Amino acid sequence: MVSVTRSVFGELPSGAGTVEKFRLQSDLLGVDILSWGCTISALEVKDRQGRASDVVLGFAELEGYLQKQPYFGAVVGRVANRIAKGTFTVDGKEYKLAINNGPNSLHGGIRGFDKVLWTPQVLPNGVQFSRVSPDGEEGYPGELKVWVTYTLDGGELVINYRAQASQTTPVNLTNHSYFNLAGQGSPNIYDHEVTIEADAFLPVDETLIPTGEVAPVQGTAFDLRKPVALGKHLQDFHVGGFDHTFCLKGSKEKHFCARVHHAGSGRVLDVYTTQPGVQFYTGNFLDGTLKGKSGAVYPRHSGFCLETQHWPDAVNQPHFPSVLLRPGEEYDHTTWFRFSVA
């Protein structure tokens, strides 16, 4: 059984609307999701003793989400990740986006899908959010109708993304939750054991744009096909952290993506997806300045993201899987976050 409870989370400034919170509760998981940015603001998971802890970084109040912060828990779009120099061409026409990350455009622009109020609809086992992204929003072509649906099934949180376009446009949607399976507010993720089911990854240039090469992980720090203890692995390979796309199976079917195990609590997160890639990010840019829930601060490497998505800058790299959505087609992707104890 899943219960869904709806409450007011806060009021946007200047009467811009009311942000609601939706509490999804099963016997194994409790999830709070906000109508602002479709944001997962809390995710309570039991450890092997049956004690629940909140395993996502975030804020207790709306003000936290409205300040400059690194997309905690939010859905990002219209195009997640980076587009080189904020430009791309579709059907011979060049489009220019806001530059908001070094020389590039990141996560949909200045006011992406994470910084808007979505329209909620309660479901028996979850909540569906929808919005219409107008033609030209953040520089993108055509109107885009978007639906993001969160459902709970026992220990599994399922996120489905659907979109329909009036004009050909790139679309790449993901959720940017930062996890710490020891519980949010724990100082780091070095004691997490990580597996990613990927034979290849995308090397990047100094501005974090893929070089175009699809590189084998074999013999590199990116070979996570067998479980690695994250802290030791970063030390062994002298890596300052990950912020890279791992290339998954090309099929549109549900496939295994990643597993993270926290031995101390026994918590395990298994991720499955229909997407061709996952951005594994180890919170390298967190710096301890943000005040989170329960007085937590979030230093570098205090959370990790597994952002299932298409490959970055795909709109400018023709040999990458296409991110273009054409009129009459439907964008439809699903990611499954399955929690258990071991």
Neighbour tally for 18: CB within 10 Å: 14
How far apart are the C-alpha atoms of 274 and 254, rounded to whole Å? Answer: 5
Catalytic residue among 44, 107, 307, 333: 307
Strand pairing of 93-96 and 87-90? antiparallel
235 φ, ψ (degrees, to nearest 5): -65, -50
* Pair of tokens at residue 8: 């007011």
Which one-letter DSSP state was computed for residue 311? P
Catalytic residue among 176, 233, 261, 262: 176
- Catalytic (active site) residue 176: yes
The amino acid occupying position 103 is P
Asked if residues 332 and 159 have their Cβ atoms less than 8 Å apart, the reply is no
Using DSSP, how many helices (H) and how many strands (E) does the chain show?
2, 27
- Catalytic (active site) residue 107: no
Q: What is the pLDDT of residue 244?
A: 97
CA distance to 89, 95, 321, per residue, from 92 (Å):
6, 10, 19
Show pLDDT as tens, one digit a residue, over the chain (342 residues). Answer: 999 999 999 999 999 999 999 999 999 999 999 999 999 999 999 999 999 999 999 999 999 999 999 999 999 999 999 999 999 999 999 999 999 999 999 999 999 999 999 999 999 999 999 999 999 999 999 999 999 999 999 999 999 999 999 999 999 999 999 999 999 999 999 999 999 999 999 999 999 999 999 999 999 999 999 999 999 999 999 999 999 999 998 788 999 999 999 999 999 999 999 999 999 999 999 999 999 999 999 999 999 999 999 999 999 999 999 999 999 999 999 999 999 999
Asked if residues 38 and 118 have their Cβ atoms less than 8 Å apart, the reply is yes
* Pair of tokens at residue 166: 């009036």
